[in-house]
Copies of this chain bind each other. A is one copy, B any other.
């Protein structure tokens, strides 16, 4: 089985055998966690960041009235609490949306690795940029797109992000979100999600059954969503001073 975290990094930087081995070393001992488990951030995790090797999870906030808004989907290869202060109080909680394999990477280990292999540092930076791009696109999604467009956009995003990590899936992806989860990602109600899902199905765009999502017409979905993967595309870092270091 390939390592999703490694795949992510390899998109953003040229990694040699040594780098690859070192990263795989870090991912040796993943925890296995069931679906719908809450992961709080405490103790040990202050000095490490968890990475999802397989499965889906989500970061969310709960409002006083009980409403939940998911702020990030954590797909295979994604890091969480990556953007937070190491000693910051986490406002957000994490829940697994499917069974997951998760590994905790110590900041100190990552740091040593980056000192040794600058390319990995560049790849991590590139990853952080993508996280931000996704978050900003969600603001746009929820702020300015209607229900159907939001759903189409999410499908396109998930498909694209998963394709970075596992090129095998053509039009069939594992999609464990319940309609309640979808509602909390897209800022809608489950009932409304249900109705718009039916519309997507009737229009022959997707099939969604028992956590398997089949995309019948990606082109049209992208059209509806106004989706352009450019904002997510990992970019190899070519800043000249970096290239110089790599060459040496």
Top 10 closest pairs, chain A to chain B, by CB: A143-B187, A83-B132, A86-B239, A69-B140, A71-B136, A69-B144, A69-B143, A91-B231, A108-B241, A67-B144
A89 to B46, CA, bound (A): 33
> Of all chain B residues, which has the CB nearest A88?
B235
Of residues 219 to 245 in A, which have CB atoms within 8 Å of B's CB atoms?
A: 226, 230-231, 235, 237-239, 241-245
A39 at the interface (CB under 8 A from B): no
Instruction: Assess the B145–A111 pair: CB atoms within 8 A.
Output: no
A81-123 CB contacts (< 8 Å) to partner B: 83-89, 91-92, 107-108, 110-111, 114, 121
Oligomer copy total: 2
7 examples of A-B residue contacts, CB within 8 angstroms: A46-B239, A47-B239, A84-B129, A107-B242, A111-B243, A121-B247, A139-B187
A133 within 8 A of B: yes
Interface size class, chain A: 35 or more
Q: With an 8 A cutoff between CB atoms, is A33 at the interface?
A: no
Structural contact, A144 and B187, CB atoms closer than 8 A? yes
A175 close to chain B: CB less than 8 A: no
Q: Mark A43-71, 1 if CB is under 8 A from B, else 0.
A: 00011000000000001010110011101
CB contact under 8 A between A239 and B136, given known A244-B114, A244-B124, A247-B121 = no
Given contacts A143-B186, A145-B63, A238-B87, contact A245 B121 (CB under 8 A): yes
